[in-house]
Amino acid sequence: MIDRETIDRIFAAVNIVDVVGDYVTLKRRGANYQACCPFHQEKTPSFVVSPARGIYKCFGCGKAGNAVNFIMESESVSYPEALKILAKRYGIEVREEAMTEEDIARNNNRESMFALNQWAADYFQRYMYSEDEGRSVALTYFSSHRGFSEATIRKFGLGFCPSSGHRFSDDARSAGYKEEFLLSTGLSIKRESDGTLRDRFYDRVIFPVHNVSGRVVAFGGRTLRTDKKVAKYQNSPESEIYSKSRELYGLFFAKKAIQQEDLVIMVEGYADVISMHQSGVENVVASSGTSLTEEQIRLVGRFTRNITLMYDGDKAGVKAALRGVDLILKEDMNVRIVLLPEEHDPDTFAREHTSEELRRYIAEESQDFLAFKARLLLDDVKDPTQRSEAIRAMVESIALIPDNIRRQEYVKYCAEIMQVSADMLNNEVVRTRTGRNNREAQEFIRRQQAQQYQQQQVETIPGTPTPRGDKPASGASMGTTMETLEREIVKYLLKYGHLSFTLLDEETKEYYDYNVAEHIFSELDTDDIRLVYPVYSTIYNLYHSEYDRLGEGVEVDVHQFVNHFDPAVSQLAVDLLTSDDNYVISRIWEQKDVHTESVQEQLADGVPSVVALYKWRIVDEKVAELRKRLKSPDLSEEEMSNIMAALSKYNAVRTAIANVTNRLI
């Protein structure tokens, strides 16, 4: 386990804007930053990052957290793994305490696979530079044949796997890496005949594949042999850390340029990306020869809504350009296409032109994709049947565009190109969308029913905080659970502990100001009441000690809760700090001259009520315990008398609490 001092150092160094900005394009909005949420599909930004509090919150899907939570969600890693990723980013040495057997058993294999992949990437490059075979074969290929500079080779981590067929696997085992991870990453393959390991990428130049945060998740190996029986490329298989449908080659190196240019250029292969980068155009990624997927499109959509496809000008290149474009349109992204001269691909074109020439060509030759597709489909088509099929293909593409205004513009534009009636084309688009929406609606209902059924099977674990809307404590009833009330108490401390509210004293008929934290602490401390649920108790006690140190009315720094070393505490703090309170809508109603309670008015109602109700629940449990003791057959008269006296006392307290909350028992 990572020790507490290291965790504190990581949180102290982390800048949440920088961390989140590596995954999405953030735009400043006052004191905060906004973006489209990376965790669900949306057009209007509802994802907010608060640098002051060090947290993020999506008001669309509800996900919220600190920098560590964001890495956990984005990379699908555990809490310790997320901490290590951030530690590496900020150059912090991770110190770990001895783990128990239970901790070791709980720890998954992902980190071991990542560690092996990084070691393998270093090994392949070291072999290329230090061994005769590596220098004569791979280094010559990269530098002389491809024209890659040493800086480019080292930037992308290019290398070579020995040709012996088993040397890499042997060296990895000698370095202490286990066979199970060599197999699970796909770096090695076990022979069925004798059970020995052989290298998957032997005698191939190596292209490491990095995920969006820069970790090596897979490899691509290219053979330099001319034997047609040998596959040109060999790629890592799917694994726990790698899914080809969710990765784009070069995105880690391109993301900052994509944000700056507000444009991503999509090519096919590894060499295309690398040559473009070396030529000075860095906002380039590759699908690595596979059809684009929704996951890849949404991944790049975190950084820009503008995609330019750049492919060879021959028929194969045009065919490649057509793959997956309908998915891009469905995501409401802007798609353009650049076709290169037939004798070129992006790799050769980039090597033969300067950065300025390359940029000018892209700007001048890019064309709207749907217009290009319309011309392409109708090119040399004279047969009515073929023409109707071409129009149908265009209708299918246009119908995918979610935005109505853009869709109508494309109907007019393509109708003119295809020389058909705009009304007719629009009617077909509407008919297509209606049919598709009906099918999607039916599928949505099926998914909802399945989710509802699964939810019914889930049993809530007693005492475990669960997501819920934050109802004001004044709306709570006498039957409200202890857990709910403790959550409300802690929420009032974190969000409003430094504020004050005004109450009327019933005896003096005068108004007095009360500090929120002071009222809560004095009421509970007087009766020696402590919160019982561990996660709430931790926040309560920490806030109490800070309050005692700082004094009444001083705002306690929430970073120590948001960045607490216990992930349960930090997540709860984020949930409470980003919860939507009813008073937020007051601004809207005030504009319509409708009075709503101010924050202070709601605090005057909520804080005393939640404290009183919490006391009620404490007393309720005491009364239930005493009544249970009364049923004991061995009870003496003296014990019975004492219990009856205690019950009388507690009932009086209950009556007083009921009067405070203006409720009947």
User: Each residue of 229-242: pLDDT tens digit?
Assistant: 889 999 999 998 89
pTM of the full structure: 0.63
Q: Is residue 81 part of a domain?
A: yes
pLDDT at 128: 97
Do 511 and 545 reside in the same domain of the chain?
yes
Do 67 and 116 reside in the same domain of the chain?
no
Q: What CATH number corresponds to the domain at position 80?
A: 3.90.580.10
Q: What CATH number corresponds to the domain at position 367?
A: 3.40.1360.10
Q: Is residue 625 part of a domain?
A: yes
Whole-number Å distance between alpha carbons of 26 and 32: 10
Do 477 and 611 reside in the same domain of the chain?
yes
Do 115 and 81 reside in the same domain of the chain?
no
Query: For the segment 397-436, what is each residue's pLDDT rounded down to a tens digit?
Result: 888 887 788 888 888 888 888 888 888 888 888 888 777 6
Per the structure, the count of domains in the chain is 4
Q: Which of 85, 106, 127 finishes a domain?
A: 106
Higher pLDDT, 139 or 641: 139
Tokens of 499: 């504020």
Q: Which of 409, 432, 455 finishes a domain?
A: 432
Tokens of 345: 């691909």
pLDDT at 159: 97
Nearest to 347 by CA among 222, 230, 445: 222
Q: Is residue 602 part of a domain?
A: yes
Do 507 and 635 reside in the same domain of the chain?
yes
Whole-number Å distance between alpha carbons of 61 and 290: 30
**Whether residue 80 has pLDDT greater than 80:** yes
- Angle formed at CA 97 by CA 463 and CA 464, multiple of 5 degrees: 5
Tokens of 249: 């080659």
Which of 180-189, 422-431, 435-444, 637-646 is most confident? 180-189
pLDDT at 468: 35
pLDDT-derived band at 593, boundaries 50, 70, 90? very low
pLDDT-derived band at 308, boundaries 50, 70, 90? very high
Q: Is residue 480 part of a domain?
A: yes
Query: For the segment 19-28, what is each residue's pLDDT rounded down to a tens digit?
Result: 998 888 898 8
pLDDT at 493: 92
For residue 22, the 8-state DSSP code is T
* Average pLDDT for 352-358: 91
Token pair 């995501």 in the structure block, residue: 331
Q: Dmax over Cα atoms in the chain, in whole Å?
A: 108
Q: Is 234 left (phi over 0), alpha (psi -120 to 50) or beta?
A: beta
> Where in the sequence is the domain holding 61, given as residue range(s)?
4-106
Higher pLDDT, 217 or 501: 217
Do 284 and 391 reside in the same domain of the chain?
yes
User: Could you tell me if 258 and 242 are in contact, meaning their C-beta atoms sit under 8 angstroms apart?
Assistant: no
Rounded to 5 degrees, φ, ψ at 72 are -60, -45
Task: Name residues whose C-beta falls within 8 Å of residue 196's C-beta, 6 or more positions apart in sequence.
Answer: 166, 190
pLDDT-derived band at 97, boundaries 50, 70, 90? low
Whole-number Å distance between alpha carbons of 298 and 324: 13
Nearest to 107 by CA among 217, 218, 2, 214: 2
Do 286 and 222 reside in the same domain of the chain?
no
Region of poorest pLDDT, from 260-269, 318-327, 352-361: 318-327
Q: Is residue 440 part of a domain?
A: no
Nearest to 23 by CA among 78, 84, 85, 80: 85
pLDDT, mean over the chain: 81
Q: Which of 77, 106, 135 finishes a domain?
A: 106
Which of 119-128, 408-417, 566-575 is most confident? 119-128
Q: In sequence order, what DSSP letters do the residues of 342-399 get, joined into one string?
A: TT--HHHHHHTS-HHHHHHHHHHH-EEHHHHHHHHHHTT--SHHHHHHHHHHHHHHHT
User: Could you tell me if 565 and 8 are in contact, meaning their C-beta atoms sit under 8 angstroms apart?
Assistant: yes
**Whether residue 105 has pLDDT greater than 80:** no
pLDDT at 234: 93
pLDDT at 300: 86
Do 95 and 137 reside in the same domain of the chain?
no
Do 566 and 631 reside in the same domain of the chain?
yes
Q: Is residue 147 part of a domain?
A: yes
Q: Which one-letter amino acid corresponds to residue 119?
A: W
Do 373 and 277 reside in the same domain of the chain?
yes
User: Could you tell me if 65 and 55 are in contact, meaning their C-beta atoms sit under 8 angstroms apart?
Assistant: yes
- Angle formed at CA 466 by CA 463 and CA 469, multiple of 5 degrees: 130
Q: Which one-letter amino acid corresponds to residue 501?
A: F
